[in-house]
């Protein structure tokens, strides 16, 4: 992997050599989107009340680029969150050329960008991790990766429909950390994927395999030597298009250490003794295995999709300072019928009707039903 990054850096350096000046100065263009939804949701009481029936998501995107005299394209992307209390989503620079593409900055990485999921529509699919905006039932997401962090990413050129990518982040918590102090629950992340895309005679095919490998770090605040275990997550997926139909599916899995939130990691690491492993002290974690399958149909200005997703979580606990399968599991299911209807340039009406269920071992099922509708404005 290091050889790939060094080689790509060398190609970029050679490309810049002799480039006296960009033909045009960089100026930023403004884009983004706004989504406003209302919904009606009926949820069992076992997991508490459902959430606010008015949801929104807004981002403002700034993008600027220029082409140097040697043909290399250089640019920047800044994405600002539009909701109250949030700031920057992603910010990175990119370099495009015959060598492929290099990104440097805070973004999702190669695995998240290249992973393929089943088709869905309506703004809230059962497989994208967003139904939690409407219910207290746990989300399903086969694309279960680390999220934004400061990374260097390299994508190869597209050759015969094939493309590969690899990312490296020094610390999982680096998105909002400028101090250089690595957090106790942080760690380096390797992320990568391969994809094949083709389209001919009314037939299209998209196939990808992606994965992420996390190397957790204890941090300087822990006085003892700790042997840290690693976390892994991966996804495979495919979509096939013919005529107005697209049919697709994906499968994803991740291990228990990978699925631990930052607060739990900090508590676990802080109680380790010399020679212990993180796996022996972590609570509230789970192995995840899930899949989705869906079909969409496009007709004029409308696209409708029927999508189903399911996930199984084997839960873990601690007994006598030893991590063990505590015999409990969580089974999740979700089904959605969604529609996207283009009313005009940049104005899309989106709607979903959905059902989702959570079944915890030793307790009753919790169901939620809902109908959601709203507008997506793209600018």
**CATH number for position 132:** 2.40.160
Q: Is 84 exposed, middle or buried (0-12, 13-18, 19+ CB in 10 A)?
A: exposed
End-to-end CA distance of the chain: 38
- C-alpha 162/C-alpha 153 separation (Å) is 17
Number of domains in the chain: 1
Whether residue 6 is contained in a domain is answered as no
What's the average model confidence in pLDDT over 63-84? 90
Task: Identify which of 61-70, 124-133, 223-232 has the greatest average pLDDT.
Answer: 61-70
pLDDT at 73: 95
The winner for highest mean pLDDT among 66-75, 141-150, 212-221 is 66-75
In a domain, 43, yes or no: yes
pLDDT grade for 281, boundaries at 50, 70 and 90: very low
Tell me, yes or no, whether 237 lies in a domain.
yes
Q: Which domain does 263 fall in, by range? A: 35-56+108-378
Q: Which residues are registered as beta bridge partners of 354? A: 336, 370
Is the C-alpha dihedral spanning 199, 103, 100, 215 positive or negative? negative
Q: Token pair for residue 312?
A: 């199984």
What is the residue-averaged pLDDT of the chain?
80
pLDDT at 85 over 60: no
pLDDT band for position 44 (cuts 50, 70, 90): confident
Residue 363 lies in a domain: yes
Does residue 9 have a pLDDT over 50? no
DSSP secondary structure string, 82-95? -STT--EEEEEEEE
- The answer to whether the pTM exceeds 0.75 is yes
In this prediction, residue 366 carries a pLDDT of 86
In a domain? residue 155:
yes
Q: How confident is the model at residue 142, as a pLDDT?
A: 87
Q: Once rounded to an integer, what is the mean pLDDT over residues 150-164?
A: 96
Residue 86 resides in a domain: no
In a domain, 12, yes or no: no
Decide if 348 is inside a domain: yes
Return the SS3 of 288: strand
- Encoding tokens for residue 73? 């394209």
Does position 191 have pLDDT exceeding 80, yes or no? Answer: yes
Better-scored residue on pLDDT, 311 or 259: 311
Please tell me which residue, 90 or 287, carries the higher pLDDT value: 90
Q: Which residue has the higher pLDDT, 156 or 179?
A: 156
Say if residue 160's pLDDT is above 90: yes
């Amino acid at each position: 992997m290091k050889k790939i990054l060094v080689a790509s850096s060398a190609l970029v350096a050679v490309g810049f050599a002799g480039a006296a000046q960009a033909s045009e100065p960089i100026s930023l263009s403004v884009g983004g989107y706004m989504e406003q939804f209302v919904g009606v949701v009926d949820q069992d009481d076992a997991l508490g009340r459902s959430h606010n029936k008015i949801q929104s998501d807004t981002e403002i995107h700034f993008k600027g680029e220029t082409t140097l005299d040697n043909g290399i394209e250089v640019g920047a992307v800044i994405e600002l969150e539009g909701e109250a209390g949030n700031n920057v989503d992603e910010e990175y620079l990119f370099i495009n050329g015959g060598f492929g593409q290099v990104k440097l900055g805070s973004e999702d990485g190669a695995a998240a960008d290249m992973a393929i999921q089943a088709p869905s529509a309506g703004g809230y699919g059962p497989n994208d991790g967003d139904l939690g905006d409407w219910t207290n039932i746990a989300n399903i997401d086969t694309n279960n990766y680390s999220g934004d962090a400061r990374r260097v990413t390299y994508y190869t050129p597209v050759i015969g429909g094939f493309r590969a990518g690899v990312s490296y982040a020094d610390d999982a918590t680096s998105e909002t950390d400028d101090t250089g102090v690595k957090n106790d629950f942080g760690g380096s992340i390797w992320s990568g994927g391969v994809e094949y895309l083709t389209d001919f005679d009314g037939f299209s095919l998209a196939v990808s395999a992606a994965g992420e490998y996390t190397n957790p770090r204890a941090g300087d605040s822990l006085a003892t030597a700790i042997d840290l275990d690693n976390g892994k997550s991966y996804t495979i997926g495919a979509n096939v298009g013919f005529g107005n139909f697209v049919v697709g599916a994906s499968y994803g899995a991740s291990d228990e250490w990978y699925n631990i939130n930052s607060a739990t990691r900090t508590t676990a690491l802080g109680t380790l003794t010399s020679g212990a492993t993180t796996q022996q002290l972590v609570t509230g974690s789970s192995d995840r295995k899930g899949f989705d399958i869906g079909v969409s149909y496009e007709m004029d200005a409308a696209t409708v999709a029927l999508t189903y997703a399911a996930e199984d979580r084997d839960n873990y606990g601690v007994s006598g300072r030893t991590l063990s399968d505590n015999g409990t599991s969580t089974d999740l299911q979700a089904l959605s019928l969604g529609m996207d209807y283009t009313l005009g340039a940049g104005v899309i009406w989106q709607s979903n009707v959905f059902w989702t269920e959570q079944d915890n071992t030793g307790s009753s099922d919790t169901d939620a039903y809902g109908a959601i509708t709203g507008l997506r404005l793209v600018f």
